[in-house]
Structure 1
């Protein structure tokens, strides 16, 4: 069968299975993977094997970029500590323990190959889970943490993967020290992503064509990835930073003329979900079709099949158990500390001393420190069970080159791919079908978050209505207790200056839609309004303006 025809049939079949999975409320990725793996055993079916560089370079960048565009950057900052703990520290811990396990089970692989495999299986695919967060009963904070974690852990794991791949494949690096190379890769990747995000936004602001503006947006993730890789930096980090930068600048430019046209935003809201669904379906289907051939290659290799299977089981247990232990220790400790503080605050004497301490901190920092709300044990349990591996693991496994730099076959490539696929299958089969059941059993109460979300949405509607009538929102009031003093006044002046610079000098010069967008942007930038509520109203304004201007 011609490879082109096979690719078309592969894409169409993946889309059909994905539609069926959504209709029966099952995980489309798992269904596509299992179905494609079964099809791979059809006699006479040729092996479809793409260039490994195409998989990482063409599939991963747009998926991560789309996720960064849709995610609230302000929510990312609010949950930064938890996100970095899961997305950076946990990934490194999982990679280290996975390497130790693989070294112990299969010492013939070598330390470099073991590290490469550890980097491949380290990042969970939590974006797929958050897409069904409301159906599962996930709280908004857990959903935000999981979404931010997916962006950060993918960048961290693939950066580690690139370094391990270069070392194992014999590729020369311009920095011999591994720690310095990692730092260079992360820092330069961030800078390139920030620069290209700004460049893309500046170009699109000068285009009065939603088609061309969307086309430039489609080019950004590939440009960021390739530019960073050419500079020996993290292409994944560059893509994520570019996505965040474009999203914030497109919606919340300080002046009306600096924001993106509403038609371009509407077009992008339709394009990226379609592209993301197509790419995800393709990766799962392509990986499933490799299963028969990977098993055949593994049988012909020198590695005993039984030991390889046992290593896969051990690796599966490690990646699941490490996440449980991390969440229990870190988030559990925060919950206990929060509960202990709340009990001690019931003592009037301790309460008085605590208030005095907060007052002193507020005078130094210019703001009153808040006690972060800890996740309850039910939320922690769900967070622990959301460690399914998916797109990035499959993409990295498929991205292992066939040959090393000196032309020799890449060491243990078939074993690496088999173990990576084993972990993906294992987590999807174990955690995927049971996650919704676990969520129903836990019955997490989201009523308080729902109430706050409705209040924020009502506030966003009120701000937009006032702005439509020609009234911009007042500057935020920072004269609350603990915000007085020289630092508090300086902070208040800074925030008022942001408000003044963001506001147009004459609201009458703006049409009613731009007045509403201006007011919502000011409210988000100054912290008066949550970004999530503003996005709902901004999307509605775009639709209304498009309907009114339709010929």
Structure 2
């Protein structure tokens, strides 16, 4: 099989498994990883070897950029302390605890090799967290904190990874160099990312073709990532900074057609990359398990997985202890049930996969094998599998057990925004009518349409918590739009309109459906 056939086949597997997971109402990353694991042991299938540089470059920049561009700066400012405590404080604690646990479980590990393993399994994965949270009734505050953590904890983890690998390969370690690398990785990454975001904003505002504009958006994360790596800074942080800049400065000013097309493109791209990544994670276990695994190796895997999960739970719950809570503003302290959910939602994924694959085969002398390389890969894949499958599949059960109330904050904010917009349009309509007059039929039609929207959004705002906003006017609107679509399709089937006319009519109905929130 050639590479194109393999990629197409894996995408097909990802689509089928994701559809099955949706029907079963389970997070699809877990289904994809298990499917990839089963697929890896099918006789006759070729072994897929992913170059580490390719894994980093193909998956991480676009997936990180897509999440960052939708992660508002206001959310970042509002949740900055919980995100900082998880992305920096928890990451450092996890590095120390996992390295110590590895040394306790297997004395064949040096401290440097133990820190390599700890850095590999340390960062939560942006794609995994976003994919799991997207399909579950996770409170918005929790979802923003988890996504923010996964965007920023890569910086600490990758610097620790690079320094630990250097210590193993050369036999030397410099605390000063580590601190300098961390500082430059952050400062240089943010600078390069802001420059890439500014350049993307300047260029895309001068492109009038929506298709070209969308294609240009696809280049932005790669430019930021490669630029950050080229100057020795954090390419991941550069991508995050570029995404935040573009999402805050450019996207609100794009023409509606460009914005709708770009969002649809990135939604599809995100699914394709996530699907491939999660299937490949399961598929790679075939190579890791191709050799017999000793009982001591499985014990090390269990110890690392347990330590990783336990440290996260203890850290998140500690901020509800009064000793810690008194030092932070009440809004920055997660409620107990939210803290439990955050503690259990530490999924690992593509970052750990790429880091495990990127380990050198030999040390700097060119002869000595890299210590414990195969075992590090086995532990990394085991941790990915446990966190994605065990935690991913049990998150819905945990949410029901915790009894978290429905989070209608986004729905209510959406209703408030739309209500204010429609009210402003009606006021402007009154001003235009008194100043310039105009067609009575046109004014009457517009007034009726906006008054309909006003009643609809007011109904959504007045609905009790947990109520379905699709009831009432939205349900009626859906039925009317359905009848319109059937009429257009009948005309097309009878040959009375062409394909292009049908496409334009259905596109207009799509926009109308979005306008009325049906």
Which TM-score applies when normalising by structure 1? 0.72
Alignment match, 2:254:
260
User: Unaligned regions of 5+ residues in structure 1, if any?
Assistant: 253-258, 342-369, 473-511, 513-542
Closer/same/farther in 2, CA of residues 78 and 463 from structure 1, 3 Å limit: same
Alpha carbons 1:116, 1:164 under 8 Å: kept: yes
Q: 1:75 to 1:443 in 2, by over 3 A?
A: same
State the Cα distance separating 1:309 from its structure 2 match.
0.8
| 1:468 maps to which of 415, 422, 425 | 425
Partners in 1 of 2:307 and 2:318 — Cα distance?
A: 16
CA change 1:19–1:403 in 2 (3 A) is farther
Q: Given the superposition, is the C-alpha separation of residues 135 and 285 from structure 1 closer, same or farther in structure 2, using an over 3 Å criterion?
A: closer
Kindly state the Cα deviation for residue 46 of structure 1 after the two structures are TM-superposed.
2.8
Contact map agreement 1:33 1:284 (CA 8 A) in 2: yes
Give yes or no for contact 1:3–1:48 (8 Å, CA) kept in 2: no
Q: Which residue of 1 aligns with 2:359?
A: 400
2:153 and 2:8 mapped to 1: Cα distance? 32
Measured against aligned partners, the alpha-carbon deviations of 1:308-353 in whole angstroms (never above 9, x if no partner) come to: 1111100011111101111111234389649xx9xxxxxxxxxxxx
Cα distance in 1 for partners of 2:392, 2:35 equals 16
Residue in 2 aligned with 1:77? 77
- After TM superposition, give the deviation of residue 98 of structure 1 in Å: 0.9
- Residue 305 of structure 1 deviates from its aligned partner by 1.6
Residues 1:134 and 1:183: Cα distance change in structure 2 (over 3 Å)? closer
Corresponding residue for residue 526 of structure 1: none
Partner of 1:418: 378
Say if 1:126 and 1:387, in contact at 8 Å, map to a contact too: no
What is the correspondence of 1:206-285 to structure 2 with a 5 Å cutoff? 206-252=206-252, 259-285=253-279
Say whether 1:430 aligns with 2:419: no
**Corresponding pairs, count:** 436
Report what 1:348 is aligned to: none
Q: In the superposition, relative to structure 1, how do residues 25 and 61 fare at CA in structure 2: closer, same or farther (>3 Å)? A: same
Is 1:385–1:435's contact at 8 Å kept on the other side of the alignment? yes
Which secondary structure state, in structure 2, belongs to the residue aligned with residue 59 of structure 1?
Answer: helix
In the other structure, the counterpart of 1:290 is 284
Q: Is the 8 A contact 1:103 1:109 kept in 2?
A: yes
- The equivalent residue for 2:305 is 316
Q: Alpha carbon RMSD of aligned pairs, Å?
A: 3.2
Determine the structure 2 residue equivalent to 1:67: 67
CA distance in 2, matches of 1:39, 1:547: 41
Q: Which residue of structure 2 lines up, in the alignment, with residue 385 of structure 1? A: 344
Native 8 Å contact 1:69 1:246 kept in 2: yes
Alignment check: 8 A CA contact 1:224 1:239 kept:
yes
Which residue in 1 is equivalent to 2:450? none
Q: Using the TM superposition, give the Cα deviation of residue 164 of structure 1 relative to its aligned residue in structure 2, in angstroms.
A: 3.2
Contact 2:348 2:387 in 1 (8 A): yes
Does the aligned pair in 2 maintain the 1:53–1:401 contact within 8 Å? Answer: no
Equivalence for 1:5: 5
Please, which of 395, 416, 421 is the counterpart of residue 459 of structure 1?
A: 416
Are 1:305 and 2:294 counterparts? yes
The 8 Å contact of residues 57 and 222 in structure 2, kept in 1 or not, is answered as yes
Q: Give the superposition deviation at 1:404.
A: 5.4
**Cα distance change on mapping 1:443 and 1:115 into 2, 3 Å:** same
Alpha-carbon distance change, 412 to 4 in structure 1, aligned in 2, over 3 angstroms = farther
Alignment-derived partner of residue 27 in structure 2: 27
Write out aligned runs for 1:68-147 (5 A): 68-125=68-125, 128-131=128-131, 133=133, 136-147=136-147
1:204 aligned onto 2:204: yes
Aligned residues of 1:133 and 1:143 also touching (Cα < 8 A): yes
Q: What is the alpha-carbon distance in structure 2 between the residues aligned to residue 28 and residue 50 of structure 1?
A: 22
Q: Which residue of the partner structure matches residue 195 of structure 1? A: 195
CA, structure 1 residues 111+171, in 2 after alignment: closer, same or farther (shift >3 Å)?
Answer: closer
Q: Distance in 2 between matches of 1:220 and 1:14?
A: 26
- Displacement, 1:397? 2.0
Give the whole-Å Cα distance in 1 for the aligned partners of 2:29 and 2:209.
35
Q: Contact 2:126–2:151 at 8 Å: present in 1 too?
A: no
CA distance in 1, matches of 2:207, 2:319: 48
CA change 1:404–1:45 in 2 (3 A) is: farther
Give the TM-score of the pair, scaled to structure 2. 0.76
- Equivalent residue, structure 2, for 1:327: 316
Distance 1:42 1:213, change over 3 A: same
Paired with 2:361 and 2:127, the residues of 1 have a C-alpha distance of 30
- Sort the Cα spacing of 1:443 and 1:74 in 2 relative to 1 into closer, same or farther, 3 A: same
**Higher mean C-alpha deviation, range 260-269 or range 56-65:** 260-269
Question: Could you tell me which residue of structure 2 aligns to residue 355 of structure 1?
Answer: none
| CA pair 174-275 structure 1, distance change in 2 beyond 3 A | farther
Deviation at 1:209, TM superposition (A): 1.4
How far apart, CA to CA, are the structure 2 residues paired with 1:27 and 1:545? 31
Change (3 A) 1:13 1:453: closer
Contact 1:94 1:118 in 2 (8 A): yes
Question: 1:111: Cα distance to partner?
Answer: 2.6
Q: Which residue of 2 aligns with 1:40?
A: 40
| Mapping for residues 172-191 of structure 1, pairs under 5 Å | 177-191=177-191
Structure 2: gaps spanning 5 or more residues: 430-445, 447-506, 513-518
Contact 1:59-1:395 within 8 A present in 2 as well: no
Matches of 2:36 and 2:200, distance apart in 1: 38
